[in-house]
Amino acid sequence: METGSRLYEWFNSRVDLENILKFMKKKTVPYHRHSLWYYIGGMCLYLFIIQVITGILLLLYYKPTAEAAFESVQYIMTEVPFGWLIRSIHSYAANLFIGFVFIHMFSVFLMKGYRKPRELTWVSGVFLLFLAMAFGFSGYLLPWNQLAYLATNVGTNFAVMVPFIGQWLLEFLRGGPEVTGATLTRFFGFHVAVLPGICTVFLAGHLILVQRHGMSVPVSIEKEIRSGKAKRLEIPFFPNFLYRDALGWTLALGLIILLSTLFPWELGEKADILKPAPPHVRPEWFFVFMYQTLKYVPKALGVFGFAVAAMVWIILPFFDTKSNRGEYNRLFTIIGVAALLYVIVFTVIGYVAPGE
C-alpha cells in the first residue's frame, strides 16, 4: 500500500473519514437559475475564517494602549516580515466580509429563504450582521489613528440617545466620559474576545440550522416544479458544489492580495485628542446610510426608528405566512427591495452630497 492510502487508512480507522465523505456526497444542493446566490453564505464563512487567521497573526505584534498602539501597527507595516500584507488582508477582507454579509442577507430575503422552517436561521443571521458591524466598529479604532479616533467619537456619541441607559451606555463603551486610551483597551477586548466568543455561538447555530434544513428553493421555482414547467434538479455538495465554492474563494483571495499589494492599507496619522475635528467626519461605509439619515431627522427619533426597524427586520419572517403556503408574496418582495434601495441610496448620498 502506498503512503497516501496508508495514512488515509490510519485516519479512517480513528475518525471514520469514510462516513464523513459519504455524508458529503449524499448531501445535495438545489440547482436552478437563482442558485448562484447559494455561494454567498459560504463566501461569508470563508472571509470570516481569513479574519480569524490574520487577526491572530496581528495579535503577535499589536499593543492595545494609547501610547503604543499606533507605533505597534507602524512596526507591523514596516518591520515585521509580510506584516503589511497580513494587516492589509485583514482590513480588505473585513470590508469584503461585511459587504458579502449584506448581499447574503438581501439575497436570502428576496428569495424568501427565511420561510418556515428557516425563521431561526434568519434570526441568527441578523445577529451575525450586527456582530459583523460591531467587529468593524471596534476594529476601526485599534490602530489609534486620527480618523478612527474621530469616527469613534461620533459613533459612540449616539449611545446617549438610547432612552434611560444612554449616559451609562456611552461611558460603558468609552470606559469614561471621553474617547481615551481606556476606550481603545476596551474596544480591543470586545474585538478579540467578546465578539469572537458571541460570534462563534451564533455562527455555529446558523450553520447547524442550515445543515439541518438544507437549502430552500425559491417560491417561483417551486411553483414551476409543481406545475411541471421545470424539473427538480440537484447537484452533490461534494465535489460539485464545493469545487465551485473553492473557485469563488480563490478569486476572492486573489483580489484581496492584489489590492493589498497595490494599495497597502493606510495608517494615517496618530490620534491627537487635542486636535480640532475636521468638518466632514464620516463613519465606515456600512454605517453611512444610518449616519446620513440622522442628518435629516431629530437624532433621538432617528436612533429610536433604527432600533424599531432592526427589531421588525429580525421578526419579519414570522409574518410571511403567504410564502409559507408556497404563494408568491409581492408585499415582502417590495419591502426587501425598498430596504435595499434605502441602504444603497443613503450610502451614495453620504458620499456624494453629505451636507452638514
Contact 280, 150 (CB under 8 A): no
Helix axes 119-141, 83-110, angle to 10 degrees: 150
Contact between 44 and ligand HEM by CB under 6 A: the answer reads yes
Cell numbers 490620534: residue: 271
Give the cell for residue 350.
453620504
Task: Please say which residue, 40 or 221, places its beta carbon nearer to ligand HEM.
Answer: 40
Contact between 143 and ligand HEM by CB under 6 A: the answer reads no
Which of 85, 147, 206, 302 contacts ligand HEM by CB under 6 A? Answer: 206
Contacts to ligand HEM from residues 83-122, by CB under 6 A: 101, 104-105, 108, 113-114, 118, 121-122
Which stretch, 85-93, 125-133, 161-169, 252-260, contacts ligand HEM (CB under 6 A)? 125-133
Contact between 216 and ligand HEM by CB under 6 A: the answer reads yes
Task: Please say which residue, 125 or 139, places its beta carbon nearer to ligand HEM.
Answer: 125
Q: Read off the DSSP letter of residue 29.
A: E
Intra-chain end-to-end CA distance of the chain, in Å: 74
Contact between 323 and ligand HEM by CB under 6 A: the answer reads no
Residue in 218, 168, 197, 162 with CA at minimum distance from that of residue 32? 218
Contact between 40 and ligand HEM by CB under 6 A: the answer reads yes
Contact between 286 and ligand HEM by CB under 6 A: the answer reads no
Contact between 128 and ligand HEM by CB under 6 A: the answer reads yes
Element (H, E) at 236: strand 234-236
| Type of residue numbered 135 | F
Please count the other Cβ atoms lying within 10 Å of the Cβ belonging to residue 291. 21
Task: Please say which residue, 70 or 241, places its beta carbon nearer to ligand HEM.
Answer: 241
Query: What is the contact surface with ligand HEM in residues (CB under 6 A)?
Result: 38, 40-42, 44-45, 48, 101, 104-105, 108, 113-114, 118, 121-122, 125-126, 128-129, 132, 203, 206, 210, 215-216
